Structure formats: structure tokens, C-alpha cells
Amino acid sequence: MPVKNRFSEMLPEITEWRHDLHENPEILFDTVRTASVVEEKLKAFGCDEVVTGLGRTGVVGVIKGKSNGSGKVIGLRADMDALPILEKTGVDYASKTPGAMHACGHDGHTAMLLGAAKYLSETRNFDGTVVVIFQPAEEGGGGGKEMCDDGMMERFGIQEVYGMHNWPGIPTGQFAIRPGGFFASTDQFEITVVGQGGHAAQPNRTVDPIVTASTMVSALQSIASRNADPIQQIVVSVCSIESSSKAFNVIPDSVTVRGTIRTMSKETRELAETRLKAIATSTCEAFGARADINWIPGYPTMVNSEEQTEFAASVASSVAGACDVAEVTMGGEDFAYMLEERPGAYILVGNGDSANVHTPEYNFNDEAIPAGCSWWAGIVEQRMPAA
């Protein structure tokens, strides 16, 4: 099953949808217009059921096949939200919302799944039920978790779930996937080092939180270099150090350190949290300061199921001629929550030689649309072949 001719025919229409979504980006759960567009199109396609308001602004469409002897129900998920970035692409359909843009291609994901939903509603050449899931707040809001917490999997009887993300650097329309841990957990930390400020000329009369924090930042790197198993992937990044003073001659009362820890296993994740708290506390105690620690749990590690990954790769190969083995990424993805609820797989589709995601210059490559839509349709038609 190469790229379906139907999707090549639909490319101008799906591209028009994508450009409209790109012009009107919405952030986190504020995807009200986007959800309305999705709802309107799903109803126009003739979906058997369209439900809104899951995970606050998520939308779900149900499409039944010509038969249901298999009893199978497959979920297909796309994310809808944009990022708080000022666009610099220069395209004629650039964002009309200052400070917001589709810098990760979720406009493309939504458009591709809409294209697949239209095709599947027209043909219904499968034995079972497909549930198309349009999710808000992937970019840090945990919209996937909220949809699951709203009982989505149980309500629609979803047995397996599949997701897709475009990927710059992979040739346009090609695919890559891997079983097991794929995207990292995304925990954050905020440590306020509380000392005693004073005049910079009299440091002996202070408890210097800057010296304390500097030592602590260096010590935190030992989590990766000396505590974690060298075979296990882990990133410890301090990304912000902020003092309560901006003066040149004042030792401040406090310093706040912020950062993120990325891991690929539950054990390493737990180890990192334990060691961070111990290092921060003991370092501050050694200097006579106090550590106020705020550990902020993020997305869990996204783990692809073995069987579903093998199947997803076979569908990708049937579309593109091959499917590469993807590298582990230390980025996060809240599709992880859906994969904790049901077996499934997440695949990358090539965006070609484009700017990287999460940059002002990035733009989804419309030439990837036929391959992405064909993969969605192939998941359904090959997993639930018509009786």
C-alpha cells in the first residue's frame, strides 16, 4: 500500500485546512477555535459520533467500519495546540496571533488526521471502529492525561492507540520508529537557596547564596556522571539562576535555580529526584543556608509497545518502502499518558530539511501530508481488514 491516490487528490484541500490552522494558533487548552473547526469537519464527514469537551477542549470522532465482526476499536491521536513563539517564517499564511505560532507542526498533525478521518468516513473499508482523537495542551499542559482522566479510553472502548509527529531531518514522507522507551520523562525543579544578604565588601557577615548555589549547580551534575547507571540515558540541565538582587555590591538574601531532568526509566527518574533533593539540602547546610525545593513532575517516559511498534513500522514500510529505527530523544511527549492506558505506538514522519521544531523559523512541510494520511488509514485498514 503506497501513498493512496485519494490523499494525493485531497492534498490541496488538506493543505488549505492546515494553512487556516497555522494562521490561527491557539495555546494549551485555549484551542476553542481549533476544536470548533475540527468538530465542524468531523460532522460534515459523516462521523457516527462527535464528542467535544474531553480534556477541556479535546474532540473525539467515532467512525464505524462496514462491519464489526472483529470487535476492535483503534484510537488515532493528533495534537492541536501551538507555542508562545513569535513567528519568523515569512509565509503568506503566517500566524495572525502575535506571540503564538504553530512551531511544532501540530497544525499538520491535525490536518493529516482530519484528512484520514474524511477518507475513512467515505470508504469505511475496515472491520471494527476507529476513534479519532484531537488533543489540546500537548506543549506542557498534559492534555493527553486530562482526556484519559475524563474516561476517554473506557467511554469509547479504545483497545490500541497510535500517534504521529513530524520530524525535521528525516526525508519528507519517510518514517522512523522504535520500540520501548522513545521520549523522555520531563520533570522540572526549582530550588531557592536562602542565605543572609549583606554588603559585598563584608562577605564574612553574610551567608552567600550565590556561592552556595554555584557549588550546588556543579554538584548536581554528579547525578548523571556518578549516580546514574552509565547505560541509562539521563540529562540534568540547570537553565535559570536568578538572584533577589541586581546590584553590583550587594550579596543577596536568596538565589533561585530552575532546570529540568530527563530520564528514560522509572528507576532512573526516582534516583534523580532523590539525589537532587539530597544534594541541594546537604550543600546548603554545608554553607549555612537553606534549600527550599520544589520538584515538579512532568510527563512520564513515552514507551512504545513491542507488538504495536512492529505493526506500525510495517504499515510505514508499505507506505514509504521502508521504516528506519529512530533514535531515542530526550524531548517529552504527553502521548505517554495514552500509552500508559493502552498498548500502542508513536511514529515519526519526515519533515525534510526544515528548521527545527520550537524555533520561529519552523514550518510544517505540506508535502508530508499524503504519506501521513496514508499511514493513518493503513493502521486502520491493515489492523482491521474488511470482512
Distance CA 342, CA 243 (A): 45
The CATH classification number of 185-296 equals 3.30.70.360
CATH topology of domain 5-180+302-383: Aminopeptidase (3.40.630)
- List the domain boundaries for the chain: 5-180+302-383, 185-296
Please state the pTM of the whole predicted model.
Answer: 0.95
What span, in angstroms and rounded, lies between the C-alpha atoms of 37 and 260?
35
Contact 262, 234 (CB under 8 A): yes
CA–CA distance, 76 with 105 (Å, rounded to integer)? 17
Binding residues for Mn(2+): 104, 106, 139, 165, 358
Three-state DSSP at 221 gives coil
294/297 Cα distance (integer angstroms) = 10
Cell reading at 287:
554553607
Annotated binding site: 104, 106, 139, 165, 358
Residue 20: what are its φ and ψ, rounded to 5°?
A: -65, -45
As given in the structure block, the three cell numbers for residue 22 are 497555522
Mean pLDDT of 217-231: 97
C-alpha closest to that of 45 among 144, 129, 145, 113: 113
pLDDT of res. 60: 98
User: How high does pLDDT run on average in the chain?
Assistant: 97
Position 4 scores a pLDDT of 78
How far the first Cα of the chain sits from its last, in Å, is 18
Q: What is the pLDDT of residues 270-286, one digit of tens each?
A: 999 999 999 999 999 99
* Per-residue model confidence as pLDDT tens digits over 243-262: 989 999 999 999 999 999 99
Q: How many C-alpha atoms does 124 have within 13 Å on its Cβ side?
A: 14
Q: Among 129, 123, 65, 127, which residue's Cα sits nearest to residue 386? A: 127
pLDDT digits (tens, 9 = 90+) for 348-385: 999 999 999 999 999 999 999 999 999 999 999 999 99
| Cα distances (angstroms) measured from residue 350 to each of 90, 144, 336, 360 | 22, 23, 21, 19
